[in-house]
Structure 1
């Protein structure tokens, strides 16, 4: 486990110079040994293979039997009609799989990023497929991570791992951290970076420890590759019907033959009669009717931007009684949003549409500080940059703070960048000939460097009573699974040394933010509940956050209904299957846990669907 080793042992095991990286000769040799850094997909089926697969069904076998018998009887038109039914059914199935396959391929071909590596002391860009174990990768904002890395250096490094872990907030990384627990979940491996995740802030250097199918995302791809498609309820029922009709046809033939023998009738004539009755018992049009009805369902789903790979999957969706849903981006907006703020003038306030005029001046000062201490941009409801900073700019916009106007009337003349150790960021801003320090960051850290506080528009000494009020408010907001941030400022007479910017500040207030639920998700869950369908949340996010969202959406109403991946590991398969009926929220889970959850639900006779927007949802 690379994350349990210090950096010096990692580079020793990989036999790489941490200053210069691999030589080109070493990289070529390792590429030959480990193979290209890419994910393998399932071998693509030919159209002929897809066509043959459509014919492997008990009802189709019965229809083929009917074709043979009708040909023997000389009923050529009937034989042709039945054969056409079989072909139409197969062609519809093939057409749908080919269409879905092209859509999926288009998604897979999106953005194959390059990698910035250091080889023989030279930093250069190479195709991601050429990255090998031991390569030194340079990480910077906006770049995708091209392999699984053990970080060697990190400077305020934050990585968006939501697609892999379900975390709404970019993960803060620390290269110096050494983890003791070999079972540490992906979301808690702060000294590592993973293939296909996105660097959102800061910079770092990491050494590639796994590439291709050996990466965490590669393991997920491997599970998908080995997964065998299970028959849908409709396919099972049609298969049973086909077998029953086959037995019925044989039974009719045998029975009539026996009657003919007992009555002494002409055996040839009775054989033809028996065969005719057997053929008449076969519903030749059923396969075509089912295929056409399912095709109509596929068309309807396509209009709602849903890709259906196999026709029977439409019916399977209609049979589902449990929906397992990922949280981030599926049940929630995957967009951090300020939902609460607190100051001494107003107390705790829930943020709603206030058109910029209902907010108190102290609240506007809090929002202004957040804006002037931000590197993100926000315009017409859309932002670019760090998700947390975008949320703060949207909050300021909600309270009527005009970012464009602020940009025109202010100028940043100094700054102290965010650092994970300080958990603070400060700027020195010139406005109307005056200089002001603005600071935002973690509540506890900011509290320690403030000597005054804003109360009803007046600056007063920051007493212990004031601090207790803020501490209680911060705890209350955190208990609602919201992430808290605080802001402060201080007017100064002249430009000051950045080293003393974060001193003797005036505390302005705190905000609480969360990735809020989608309104359409709330409506869908309520509709599903009325239809007798239970919705479960499965996420890699923290338990408290997951439970808060689940409670808000009506998925859960008791803490006992929420468990973590660690809890799942402590149960045997039988124990987990017996307990799962009482559970609604599964937090801090891995892709393998998701598979185990779906398996346990199915073992209890449930028909289960899984929905999500991350690669970690695909295996389940």
Structure 2
């Protein structure tokens, strides 16, 4: 067999396993050695499929220009240069370049971060090297590697199967066939050109394992795989998107699509809102310019045109793009520190407005480290594990045996007393098990080669590899020296078939041959799944059901253990129905997954924040209810009517129509025996109620619910690759409290966006008010004299305001951020409160700036209103312009200092500057602590204060660039305006506190006031 032009094998499906292993110089049982794998990785390169287009700096650069604010600034820049106002044009050019550079750097870093998430969103895999199973990144695979596959895995490369048990894969990506394809390792095909979908002994890269497990040899990696060849065709034959659009759309449709893209109207909801807002500001700027021209009877000379542009510039927050980009980047990094990886930036604006969280139980609300807490045998014996400190240590804790009808006693605490009656039960939970538990001090770990599990955890000196449920059962059996190795040596049992666990049947069965010639069939699973298969009287079944209900009520996950001995028959291996028919019940295992220590506090935090927490789990309803009570999802203060629907089985929920679900007062807080389709219905029901929800998931079948939810969150440790790919966020610790951290960070980010937008708009409104009323200040020729020069306006907007806004974007979360109701995502950042506040503060600031200008102009020096056009104080400094320039400097200083004060005032929309953090400190020095709390903002204010003086006093710069001059007694006017402004804002906030006091108190006093 020769390699083809792509460097892979022409037709590995026509080779036997031995032939392929010989050709690839590998071992079909033990895999490659580490050194050989490293050599091949250097020779053939990483197992990576290159996308149709890589990370394009030009594409990211175009993204920075494609927004309304940048387009508006480019138009203003062009007009400035057109009228030969080179200073203003140069400043605006610098602003545009700064915005683009900042956005480019941040977006490039974000794209690189997302590329780096391939370890989470792209498949990792378990590979056997040097006879040891280990987990590696998929890109480190090489031809000849031996890969292990389990349900939910994305196949990391093209593989020729070596072994498999009920293995099926979804190859729709390659074949278009929507039905999973059953795979068989023992088949050797004859047709070299057989279609991919018919190659049942092969599995292909990017397909998904939907059932069973298996093992295969890598035959092709990277661009040599089947999906890699498709990617190569896309790279060589792809056409620009615009050309595809032009074939199917009209000219005006193409124009519309291109315009929306350029103006940023196809981005995230926040980006769309800001782009529309920028267009509104642009229209307002044009209107204000027309007003300026009209006030001068449309006698538009150079000065009037500059003044019109000046008013237009004043209404546009030039630094908004850069501040928003940096704030979003800081938010993603903060979430990463909180163990939340953001895969889609659009969710940053949604997660803070979440009203409902739908969470799985195992491993998220709980520790995911299960312990077999109680065992009940069919003869009435009960075993309890007491004081267990290490879940994986069989020597940790005591096992107390007792009769079901009597309390435990010292004489019944011996492990050996009931071992004979329990031996078959222990044999069953040991053999019907794929977990491996070993002492790291006593073993080398080579036995991990035969496992087919999803995680490896080391606690104390014991190593456990496998699913948490199977680990717990294996540890319990090992307390009695009943390990799989011990049993195999004792009775010579050999595994001949396995019917793996499947979510549709909720049970697992293994078949072992014995030297006597018969076989032992061992089954474990959910009681309702095994009950119809039992060969037992109804009385026994009723007894099992009652005991399972009792154990589940204690918060234990209950598994039924059954067995039968039967003559050997080939149908047992191939027909699951035959194998699992006529079982004899042995007993029940009650497993306990203790809640995480931080879960109860996180749930309570959600309730206080107005977020309803729902548990959607596959466990028994009584187990789920017990855990829900323990973590606080279900509280004891529920009314009788609320308690009726607070917990519900998935079957009962699915039986309801959409209308019946909508008629419920509240949606269930606990859904037990939950299927993936139930999760989708739950999300749809929440959306019909106007709620925004988080959905967590870890399995392949959770993907539809993750996509349908407003924010889908996958588990990074135990989640499947498919779930991670479908999710918006990934938890690196699978911890529910990390979700709450993400919500809190989302709220902080939303609050801060509101704060710096408010600050920037206050500045714009005050300047527009000042400049429009300033039209009344005219010389003898009825030409307006600028109260502020264009460069002063740009300085205030770009230098003073920008760093203050950035400091507000870095503001920490307010103490009350998680005791407020979620914000309405439909309204967005421009809430009614923000709109009212910006006009109120803007009017205060604008009025005080007008006062400062008028007082200096008409005060002690009496502004010489008989200025002639030859002494144009808008452009040149002469002696007669002294007062005009002093008034302009006073106005500039007043505006600058009021912006500095505003940065501290908008830290909270209702609390006083003198009592910003009442929960932490109060008293005469509370203001000092408030301003020092955000160091970046503090130094931005200090820098803004200090730099005002050289701007006013440096010769030439003040006259030529800023069109103002040095001042003296006018500082008294400036500081009087600052004091008046603080007083006005504090009175305004006091009125708001009084107005909204009852509303805020009513919400704070009802922590569980969720709407759903």
Counterpart check, 1:95 vs 2:176: no
**Which residue of structure 2 aligns with residue 274 of structure 1?**
308
Matches for 1:188-587 after TM superposition, within 5 Å: 195-197=208-210, 199=212, 232=268, 234-261=270-297, 267-309=301-343, 313-326=347-360, 329-331=363-365, 337-342=371-376, 349=384, 353=388, 355-357=396-398, 359-360=400-401, 361=413, 365=419, 373=428, 374-375=430-431, 376-379=435-438, 380-384=461-465, 388-396=469-477, 401=480, 411-415=489-493, 441=523, 472-477=546-551, 482-486=557-561, 510-513=588-591, 518-537=596-615, 541=618, 544=621, 548=625, 553-555=631-633, 558-559=644-645, 562=648, 564=650, 571=657, 582-584=667-669, 587=674
TM-score (norm 1): 0.58
Report if aligned partners of 2:359, 2:615 keep a CA contact under 8 Å in 1: yes
Give the Cα separation in 2 of the matches to 1:272 and 1:307.
48
Give the Cα separation in 1 of the matches to 2:170 and 2:363.
23
**Which residue of structure 2 aligns with residue 8 of structure 1?**
none
SS of the residue corresponding to residue 491 of structure 2 reads strand
Give the Cα separation in 2 of the matches to 1:51 and 1:599.
41
Give the Cα separation in 2 of the matches to 1:564 and 1:470.
22
Give the Cα separation in 2 of the matches to 1:550 and 1:288.
45
- 1:242 deviates by 1.8
- 1:598 deviates by 5.8
1:600/1:533 CA distance change after superposition, 3 Å:
closer
Counterpart check, 1:81 vs 2:94: yes
Counterpart check, 1:589 vs 2:676: yes
Give the Cα separation in 1 of the matches to 2:70 and 2:539.
80
Report if aligned partners of 1:372, 1:427 keep a CA contact under 8 Å in 2: no
Report if aligned partners of 2:368, 2:468 keep a CA contact under 8 Å in 1: no
- 1:396 deviates by 4.8
SS of the residue corresponding to residue 275 of structure 1 reads helix
TM-score (norm 2): 0.38
- 1:108 deviates by 1.8
SS of the residue corresponding to residue 91 of structure 1 reads helix
Give the Cα separation in 2 of the matches to 1:569 and 1:257.
69
**Which residue of structure 2 aligns with residue 123 of structure 1?**
none
Structure exhibiting the larger radius of gyration computed from Cα positions: 2
- 1:49 deviates by 1.7
- 1:253 deviates by 0.7
SS of the residue corresponding to residue 269 of structure 1 reads helix
- 1:384 deviates by 3.1
SS of the residue corresponding to residue 338 of structure 2 reads coil
Give the Cα separation in 1 of the matches to 2:163 and 2:486.
33
**Which residue of structure 1 aligns with residue 122 of structure 2?**
108
Matches for 1:45-194 after TM superposition, within 5 Å: 46-72=56-82, 73-74=85-86, 75-106=88-119, 107-108=121-122, 110-111=124-125, 139-140=163-164, 145=169, 147=171, 149=180, 151=182
Give the Cα separation in 1 of the matches to 2:667 and 2:323.
40
- 1:79 deviates by 1.9
Report if aligned partners of 2:373, 2:591 keep a CA contact under 8 Å in 1: yes
- Please list the CA deviations of residues 550-607 of structure 1 after superposition, one character each: whole Å capped at 9, or x if unmatched: 56544466546647599669756x887776962445632249x739926962872637
Give the Cα separation in 2 of the matches to 1:507 and 1:578.
42
**Which residue of structure 2 aligns with residue 606 of structure 1?**
692
- 1:276 deviates by 0.7
Report if aligned partners of 1:256, 1:274 keep a CA contact under 8 Å in 2: yes
State the superposition RMSD in angstroms. Answer: 5.8
- 1:279 deviates by 0.8
- 1:516 deviates by 6.2
1:128/1:61 CA distance change after superposition, 3 Å:
closer
Give the Cα separation in 2 of the matches to 1:42 and 1:515.
45
Give the Cα separation in 1 of the matches to 2:303 and 2:324.
35
Give the Cα separation in 2 of the matches to 1:230 and 1:265.
41
Gaps of 5+ in 1: 1-20, 25-37, 117-126, 156-193, 204-210, 214-227, 430-436, 451-462, 490-495, 500-505
**Which residue of structure 2 aligns with residue 459 of structure 1?**
none
**Which residue of structure 2 aligns with residue 11 of structure 1?**
none
- 1:378 deviates by 0.8
Deviates more, 1:413-422 or 1:337-346: 413-422
Report if aligned partners of 2:559, 2:590 keep a CA contact under 8 Å in 1: yes
1:596/1:514 CA distance change after superposition, 3 Å:
same
- 1:273 deviates by 0.6
Give the Cα separation in 2 of the matches to 1:319 and 1:467.
49
Give the Cα separation in 1 of the matches to 2:213 and 2:558.
18
Report if aligned partners of 1:383, 1:390 keep a CA contact under 8 Å in 2: yes
- Please list the CA deviations of residues 100-139 of structure 1 after superposition, one character each: whole Å capped at 9, or x if unmatched: 33123344253469999xxxxxxxxxx98768xxxx9775
SS of the residue corresponding to residue 124 of structure 2 reads coil
Deviates more, 1:593-602 or 1:323-332: 593-602
- 1:357 deviates by 3.2
Higher strand share: 1
- 1:71 deviates by 3.5
SS of the residue corresponding to residue 340 of structure 2 reads coil
Report if aligned partners of 1:485, 1:512 keep a CA contact under 8 Å in 2: no
In the alignment of these two chains, the number of paired residues is 477
- Please list the CA deviations of residues 127-156 of structure 1 after superposition, one character each: whole Å capped at 9, or x if unmatched: 98768xxxx97752698857564559999x
Gaps of 5+ in 2: 1-11, 16-47, 126-137, 145-154, 172-178, 187-206, 217-225, 229-260, 390-395, 402-412, 439-460, 500-506, 570-583, 635-642, 694-709, 728-1012
Report if aligned partners of 2:523, 2:563 keep a CA contact under 8 Å in 1: no
SS of the residue corresponding to residue 283 of structure 2 reads helix
Greater RCO (CA < 8 Å, at least 6 residues apart): 1
Give the Cα separation in 2 of the matches to 1:567 and 1:315.
31
1:369/1:377 CA distance change after superposition, 3 Å:
farther
